[in-house]
Amino acid sequence: MVGRNIVRLRGSKSQADVAKAMRGRGWKWSQGTISTIETGERPLRFNEAVDLADLLGVPMDLLLREDGDTEISTRARVVATAAESIASAVEDYWEAQMNLAIVGDRAETRDGLSLVVLETWLTKRPEDVIAELREKRDAEAKAEEVQYGFDPKQNTNGKFLNMLNEHWNRDVKHQEEA
């Protein structure tokens, strides 16, 4: 990760040029040193990273962060895992509803409260639970907007956050129409 970042961030500077500049900062670097760091055979020490980032004219987090493809893959795996958790939770929800319905059918007597509980939980779809969660999230976002003076739904970062916000808002409008 760090090695690929160095290759990318040094641009047209050769390994020898970077090593020479690092020697000028007191480091005993050769072209071989930077080569082994770039290939991952040698770690980049923190104090070296501070000087190297300064030399390359970039913030240190750019030097140390995962590259875009790696970070996208990592975040996509997190989303995929969350999606699997949602699917599993929906299966659990349906099974719990089925068990509740069976118990409701077997019950000899049902008072008014039991009937309300049965009707409430047996008619609530997973989509309804998600809609309630979305409403809660939107209310919290409104509270943040008031508290901090900004609209968290407004995106200033780029097309993918816009795409996500538009998708969420389209789903809300679609549910409101239904």
**Domain extents in the chain:** 2-64, 67-108, 125-178
End-to-end C-alpha distance for the chain, whole angstroms: 48
Q: What is the DSSP string of 80-94?
A: HHHHHHHHHHHHHHH
CA distance 67 to 90: 34
| Structure-token match 């976002």, residue found | 141
**Pair of tokens at residue 122:** 């047996």
Tokens of 36: 């082994």
Q: Which pLDDT tens digits describe the chain residue by residue (178 residues)?
A: 789 889 988 888 999 999 999 999 999 999 999 999 999 999 999 999 999 999 988 888 888 887 666 567 667 778 888 999 999 999 999 999 999 999 988 887 778 888 888 999 999 999 999 889 888 888 887 777 666 665 555 545 567 766 777 776 665 555 556 5
CATH class of residue range 2-64: mainly alpha
**pTM for this structure?**
0.51
Give CA–CA dist 152/140, Å, rounded. Answer: 10
153's tokens: 């739904």
pLDDT of res. 76: 76
Which one-letter DSSP state was computed for residue 161?
H
CA–CA separation, 131 vs 128, rounded Å?
5
* Token pair listed for 76: 């996509």
User: So what's the pLDDT on residue 31?
Assistant: 96
Q: What is the pLDDT of residue 155?
A: 45
Residue 45 DSSP one-character state: P
The predicted pLDDT at position 52 comes to 95
Report d(CA 30, CA 21) in Å as an integer.
10
Per-residue confidence (pLDDT) for residue 46, from 0 to 100: 92
Q: Give the total residue count for the chain.
A: 178
Largest CA distance in the chain: 88
